[in-house]
Amino acid sequence: MRKVVAGAFMSLDGVMQAPGGPSEDPTGGFAYGGWVAPHWDDAIGVFMDAMFAQPYDLLLGRKTYEIFAAHWPYMPQDDPLAASFNKVNKYVATASDQEFSWVNTVPLRGDAAGQIAQLKTEDGPTLLTQGSTVLLQTLLAHQLVDELWLLVFPVLLGRGKRLFGNGTKPEPLRLTRSQTSNTGVIMSVYERAGAVPTGSFQLTEPSPAEAVRQERMAREG
């Protein structure tokens, strides 16, 4: 069985759009591209190195794939990450029939969720996402993500493409690793943990005021 591991840079209010630079993804008038760079430090680099230390194939949405394909093949090949990205399989979820020239690219056309679910049943390395907000929301809606490697940056961006959408299925997560960089970036690893537990701090018998409140809430529905 293969795991799906989602790696994501995220603002404190949940925005993932264009972390790398101003021209990366200005769609929707997004004006803050490159918001990650001012916070980068050695601790973040170590955390990212740990993410890529396990054997992996990349699992990308088309737009993130195009950003990567226009960058990493043109980096010096003595750059360890560039060499790794060029070597591994790149599975790209796409609705288009375009050709993909980056070596070892495998398009997933049509039912991406179904094809990824099938990939998970096979032998092979971890399927590692980077960016890819549309694909991530599909994966979360189908509960296909096994681990989240989140880097939450101390910035509010207000609007932009977000990690969690309305299709995200309720489920608890177990924190397995957490640290904070010198620049205030919270780096955490979560894994799935079954069904959402609930409890209550309410009185065993509701007070008269609470009974009235509950009745009003029921009417307002």
In angstroms, the Cα distances linking 26 to 21, 134, 154, 193 are 10, 16, 21, 36
Q: HSE, CB side, 13 Å, CA atoms: give it for residue 201.
A: 0
Architecture of domain 4-220 in this structure:
3-Layer(aba) Sandwich (3.40)
Distance CA 118, CA 2 (A): 10
Check residue 105 and give its pLDDT: 97
Q: What is the pLDDT of residues 14-36, one digit of tens each?
A: 999 999 999 999 999 999 999 99
Check residue 167 and give its pLDDT: 86
Check residue 4 and give its pLDDT: 98
Q: What is the pLDDT of residues 114-147, one digit of tens each?
A: 999 999 999 999 999 999 999 999 999 999 999 9
For tokens 């070892």, the residue is 104
Q: What is the pLDDT of residues 197-219, one digit of tens each?
A: 999 999 999 999 999 999 999 99
Check residue 99 and give its pLDDT: 87
Q: What is the pLDDT of residues 155-164, one digit of tens each?
A: 999 999 999 9
Task: Provide the pLDDT confidence category of residue 176 given band limits of 50, 70 and 90.
Answer: very high
Contact 105, 72 (CB under 8 A): no
Check residue 221 and give its pLDDT: 76
Q: What is the pLDDT of residues 62-112, one digit of tens each?
A: 999 999 999 999 999 899 999 999 999 999 999 888 889 999 999 999 899
Task: Please report, for the chain, the start and end positions of each structural domain, with discontinuous segments joined by +.
Answer: 4-220
Q: What is the pLDDT of residues 32-51, one digit of tens each?
A: 999 999 999 999 999 999 99
